[in-house]
A = this chain, B = another copy of it.
Amino acid sequence: MKRKLLTVITEQALERQLVQCVMDHGARGYTLTEARGQGRRGVRSADFEQVGNIRLEVICEEDVARQIAETLHKKYFDDFAMVLYLQDVEVLRSEKF
């Protein structure tokens, strides 16, 4: 079953909002992992800094993935370090997405 894997890497402070956003858009689940990283912070700064990050992964239909990304971008992209990307995945043996 072809689906999209949406990965969001952002600051730990946004964990609750991320989960809420994903569930609001009708995703059937998500996976969170702790991460560290470095990158440009939002669009306002050229500084690099090492920060505690989270990575959220959601498997869903492409349109849902794009809607989640759009919402997160609008709400948080200016003020938080956030990277969003999509990948193709083949979900095996599941009726759940």
**Interfacial residues, chain A to chain B (CB-CB below 8 A):** 3, 5, 9, 19, 23, 28-40, 43, 48, 53, 55, 59, 66, 69-70, 73, 77, 83-96
Q: Which of B38, B77, B93 contacts A19 (CB 8 A)?
A: B38
Q: Which of B19, B29, B35, B83 contacts A59 (CB 8 A)?
A: B83
Secondary structure of the A contact surface, majority rule: strand
Copies of chain A in the complex: 3
Name the residue of chain B whose CB is nearest to the CB of A91.
Answer: B85
Contacts of A19 in B (CB 8 A): 38
Q: Which of B29, B40, B55, B73 contacts A33 (CB 8 A)?
A: B55
Nearest chain B CB to A33's CB is how many angstroms away? Answer: 5
- The answer to whether B85 touches A59, judged by C-beta atoms less than 8 angstroms apart, is yes
Question: How far is A69 from B92 in the complex, measured between Cα atoms in Å?
Answer: 7
